[in-house]
Amino acid sequence: MLFKQQALLRQKLFVLGSLAIGSLLYLVARVGSLDRLQPLCPIDGRFGPRGQDEIPLRALQFKRGLLHEFRKGNATKEQIRLHNLVQQLPKAIIIGVRKGGTRALLEMLNLHPAVVKASQEIHFFDNDENYAKGIEWYRKKMPFSYSHQITIEKSPAYFITEEVPERIYKMNSSIKLLIIVREPTTRAISDYTQVLEGKERKNKTYYKFEKLAIDPNTCEVNTKYKAVRTSIYTKHLERWLKYFPIEQFHIVDGDRLITEPLPELQLVEKFLNLPPRISQYNLYFNATRGFYCLRFNIVFNKCLAGSKGRIHPEVDTSVITKLRKFFHPFNQKFYQITGRTFNWP
C-alpha cells in the first residue's frame, strides 16, 4: 500500500514538474521577444497620436504569418481585408548597386517591424515590357502591409539603366533612394565571379577576369566591360541627380555592412525616419558561414543564401593596381557629391 502511494506521489510530482518547465519555457520565449512585442513609435507623426493608429508588433508578426498563408492560397482575400492590409507602392527603393550587398541590406531592413519588403526583384522601371504594364501592375507585385508601414523593393539594375530615374520620378518625386556600394575593384571582381559561376553550372567556358577588364589592344582598363562600368558610381549618380536632390539618397557602405552591420542599419533607420528598432540582438555572427545572420525573435532566425560570399578567383595584382588607379578620380568625385568618404585604395 505504501509503495503504491509513493509511486502515485512520484507520478504527480512528475506531472507538476513538466507543467512548471513548460511554463518556464513559455515565459523565456515571451521575454526573449519583448522587443518585438512593444508597440511601434510614431514615425514623424505619420502614425498619428500615440495609440490611435499604432499597430502592436504582435499584430505585425501575425500579419507576416497571415500573408505567408495568403501567398500559399490558404488565406482568403476577406481575411486580408478584415486586417486592413493593402498593397502599397514603395516609399523607398534600393536602386543598386549590383554585387554591393542589395539583398543583405533588404533582408536586414526587414528586421524592422515598420518595413515590409518585396521578396523578388520586380524589374519594373528597367524593363520596358514590365513598365508598359502600368503602375497598377507594379503595385500588385508589392507585399501586403499596414497603411503606415514602408514598403521597400530592390532591383540593382535600376542604378545603371538610363530610363529609370525619370520613370521613378514620375511615380514619386519624393521617394527615398538607397545605394549600397563596395570598393569598386572588389565589386567588379564579385560581379565577374557571379557570372563565372553561372557559366560553370552550364558547363560553359568563360574568359579570365583579366582579359575582360583590360583592353588587349591598348592595355588600358576596358570601360566597355559592364562590370567595370557599373563600378564608376559617380557617372551613374550624376544621371540620377538630374531628377532627385542628393538629400533623397542615402549611401550605404556595403563592405562595413558585412563586418559591422548594426551602425549601417541605424543610419538607414534615421534616413527613413524610422524609430530605432534593429538592435544587436537581431544580428549574430555565424562562424561557419563567415557572415552575420538575422534573428527576428527567439524562434525565427535566417541566414542569407549560400550563394552569398562566393570565393573570388585570384586576379593578377598588376590588373588590380591598374583598376584601382583608374577608379580613383571617380571615387574622389563620388565622395564630394555624396558627402561620404570611404577608405578605398
* Amino acid 171: pLDDT: 98
* 51 in a known ligand binding site: no
**Host H or E run for residue 295:** strand 291-295
Distance CA 174, CA 238 (A): 18
310 in a labelled binding site = yes
Q: What is the pTM of this model?
A: 0.78
Per the annotation, does 312 bind a ligand? yes
- Told to judge if 72 belongs to the known catalytic residues of this protein, a careful annotator would answer no
Domain ranges for the chain: 65-184+231-309
The answer to whether the annotation marks 229 as part of a ligand binding site is: no
Which CATH fold would you assign to the domain 65-184+231-309? Rossmann fold (3.40.50)
Predicted pLDDT at 217:
93
CB 270 within 8 A of CB 44: no
Q: Is residue 100 a known part of a binding site?
A: yes
Cell of 176: 527615398
The whole-angstrom separation of Cα 191 and Cα 120 is: 19
Residue-level pLDDT at 301 = 85
pLDDT at position 263 is: 97
**Residue 99 marked ligand-binding:** yes
For residue 289, the model assigns a pLDDT of 74
Q: Is 36 annotated as contributing to ligand binding?
A: no
Selecting among 63, 99, 154, 322, the annotated active-site residue is: 99
Positions in the chain short of pLDDT 50: 2-4, 15, 19, 21, 23-59, 71-73
pLDDT of residue 27: 42
- Residue pair 296/36 in contact (Cβ under 8 Å)? The answer is yes
Residue 150's DSSP bridge partners are: 115
Looking at residue 219, what is its pLDDT? 95
Is residue 96 annotated as involved in ligand binding?
A: no
233 is in an annotated binding site: no
Q: Given this model, what pLDDT does residue 290 score?
A: 78
Burial class (CB in 10 A: 0-12, 13-18, 19+), 154: buried
Q: How high is the pLDDT of residue 71? A: 47
pLDDT at 128: 98
Query: Residue 114 is which amino acid?
Result: A
At 58 the pLDDT is: 43
The pLDDT value recorded for residue 308 is 60
Question: What gap in Å lies between CA 317 and CA 211, rounded to an integer?
Answer: 14
